[in-house]
Structure 1
């Protein structure tokens, strides 16, 4: 019988189980390049799983059965004497670590069958995207630019910041697409931009009048001075040294504008570049756009991904109905 660990967290797993986990964690470190924090979470999740196997008398991963994996997933949600119950999202993450271990063991020939294959992890509740309303977007965009910063019309960085945020909201671009856009990708006469999305897919999207105006002001009155400070770059948005603007800097610009506009910058509803993308899609659908058109504009490979935004609009309709209809509440 396995000895109980001094921590009281359950029996100490057999060496064969420990070796399997070490091999998997080494694989994640070398082949996947996971961060130290992520690896620490995996190590913790897998240690709990191994102790559960050890308590059931399993000493080798090849002896683990689907019932052992299912029982572990059930314990994650229900809790036990040493661990509180986990929320669905946390339990799903822990179950994912276990499934990854078993898949790795099959690939490496350590086991013949993936005992976790048919065990479904908990499904986290779908959280509807946080979308700003039109007034909030207006407040956010009005909170950045030369006038908002108390600077003159030639202030380069405020002009850039306003153009960046107008571009994100006016095109629905991902942050990577915005900071990666080249000047040659813009056609401000026709009012279009080429966005280079995931999987090498490129799409043309309209640029609204406000975004086009902000881009013209930035490209003519600010960008030349910024680029002159460095070696030059083809990208639209540059930093103060003339190099490409990083994603982190774009986040900082948005957070600064959100704080100025009195919008949340921390917590689950914190404004992020993706918030503007959510808002773009939601406002299009609220305005009557077809979901297939929005799919093309967002660059989603499947309309299923886009349909989450229809849930947002239905939820808003429900709220309006509940407050406005005289017989909505019984």
Structure 2
């Protein structure tokens, strides 16, 4: 049996085009596939991971010359110290690209080495933070308007950060406090926000009619501007769309280690604590099943404290 499997693998390798492309050309071809380029959020996420990987490997080398171990070394160098969820997500992106090169294009390509294993992601029941903590953070006087608006919108909309960062000014329906986004699976849905975000948005937009809603601090350099998607550059200011990594770093800095996904997680948990039905929470967060929503709507710590007080003797309550 083992001998048969070996022969099959050898036969497959024999059908590949061993000349093959460079690392850069292989990445560009993968990003140009309908499944990837059809969703701007997916394209942006894959491009960020694969571009950094290409820089680590030397983008102009032939893909066929890259060894499995070099892929493992690149992953470790870039994300070896990251949290398991980040490691697993980026590892999967590189693995999808390499598998596409080998299986769909029949190019000689490396594979993920055994040393680059998927890491275990432990459950974290402290992901949801209190509403008061979010309010205090967003009311800080030293907080830039852009960050304040982004974090308010992430919390009030319970949407994924990647989708909110992909919003353009023309996507917004300000009077109705809603916008149309593209979800992780490529579907479209409406997100809604509350009064706090509604007060901040006009100040952030400052009269702009088109272009990315959340902009970077500076204009991109010539190379970045030449390679960026034109939709990610504001025609009025010349500034680029704020990236996920930069947004993540800023929240961790101002929020004492707070993570972007915690705002979405906290929103769903607080809605559950307020006895909002799971069906409504599912519609708001864009999840496909109630089972997925149940991870978010477990009672939060505030609800647990309130329940605990019922166990105290009546004369000591309050």
The DSSP-based 3-state class of the residue aligned with 1:198 is coil
Shift of 1:283: 1.1
> Does the alignment pair 1:238 with 2:235?
no
1:170 maps to what in 2?
156
1:302 maps to what in 2?
289
1:280 maps to which of 256, 267, 272: 267
> Does the alignment pair 1:191 with 2:177?
yes
Shift of 1:322: 3.3
1:125 and 1:246 mapped to 2: Cα distance? 27
Alpha-carbon deviations, 1:276-315, whole Å to 9, x = none?
001111111111211111111111122211111232x166
1:137 and 1:122 mapped to 2: Cα distance? 30
Q: Report if aligned partners of 2:273, 2:300 keep a CA contact under 8 Å in 1.
A: no
* Residue correspondences, number: 206
2:226 maps to what in 1?
none
1:234 and 1:275 mapped to 2: Cα distance? 27
Please, what TM-score do these two structures have when normalized by structure 1? 0.51
Q: Whose Rg is larger? A: 1
> Mapping of 1:59-138 within 5 angstroms?
126-128=123-125, 130-138=127-135
Q: 1:184–1:130: structure 2 CA closer, same or farther, 3 Å change rule? A: same
2:249 and 2:312 mapped to 1: Cα distance? 45
Q: Report if aligned partners of 1:300, 1:306 keep a CA contact under 8 Å in 2.
A: yes
Alpha-carbon RMSD: 4.0
1:182 maps to which of 148, 168, 191: 168
Shift of 1:317: 3.8
1:125 and 1:274 mapped to 2: Cα distance? 15
Q: 1:303–1:41: structure 2 CA closer, same or farther, 3 Å change rule? A: farther
Please, what TM-score do these two structures have when normalized by structure 2? 0.53
